[in-house]
A and B are shown apart, each in its own frame.
Chain A
C-alpha cells in the first residue's frame, strides 16, 4: 500500500515565522502535490512537482514555496507565515505518465497565531 506521510498532524506557529511542512512517500512516485483545504472554499492546489528539483505553481502559490531535493520528499515552505495561511494542508502523490489516482496524506492542521 502507498504511504504518504506528513510530518505533523497539528502545528501552531506565530505570524512572521518561516514554516516547513514535510511530506514523504514510499512508492517511488514521480508526481507530488500540496493542497490546502478551507471551509467554504474546498481543496485548492498550491504547488506540484513532476520530478526532482522541478516545481510548478498551482492555483494559489502566493506566500508559499516548495522544495523537492529527493524524489520521495516534497516540502512546503511558508516564507513568512500569516494568519490567512491557517488551514488544513494535504500532500498527495501519484505515479508518472498518464493520469493516475492520487494518494493523500492525513493532513497537517496548521494554525498561525
Chain B
C-alpha cells in the first residue's frame, strides 16, 4: 500500500464547479504539501500545511492530522485550473517528499 493515496485519479468538470481532491497518508508527518504541475513539467508549490486550513485566492487546503487526511478545494473552477495536482508528505525539515500519484484535473469551458 502506498504511503500517500490520492483520489480521484482523474476528474473532468465544467467551468464554475466546486472541485475537491482528497489525500490520505499512513505515516507520521511534519507537513503536507499540495503541488500543481502543468503540461511541460514545471511544478509549483501551492500549499504547505501542518494543521488546520489555508486559503489562497480560489484554492483552499485543509488537513486533519488525527484522520491523516487532507483535501484541496477549488472554488469557481476555470479552464486554467486544468493541471495535475499532487499531494506530498514530509517527515522532517530536511527530508525529501513522498508523493501521491496525482489527480489529473480537466475543467471544460
Contact = CB atoms under 8 A, between A and B. Distances in A.
Interface residues of B, number: 26
Given A42-B86, A99-B30, A99-B90, A104 B96 contact: no
B22 to A, nearest CB: 16
B97 A45 contact: yes
How many of chain A's residues touch chain B, expressed as a range?
20 to 34
Nearest to A51: B94
Interface string A28-50: 00110101010011111100101
A19 B52 CA distance: 44
A31 B42 contact: no
Contacts of B100: 42
Contacts of A35: 96-97
Contact of B99 (A44, A88, A106): A44
B96 A98 contact: no
Nearest to A57: B96
A110 interface: no
A99 B93 contact: yes
Contacts of B92: 99
Contacts of B50: 99
22 contacts: A33-B96, A37-B41, A42-B100, A42-B102, A43-B86, A43-B97, A45-B97, A48-B94, A48-B95, A56-B94, A96-B94, A98-B93, A99-B30, A99-B50, A99-B90, A100-B48, A100-B93, A101-B33, A101-B45, A102-B45, A102-B97, A104-B45
Interface of A: 30-31, 33, 35, 37, 40-45, 48, 50, 56, 58-59, 88, 90, 92, 96-104, 106-107, 109
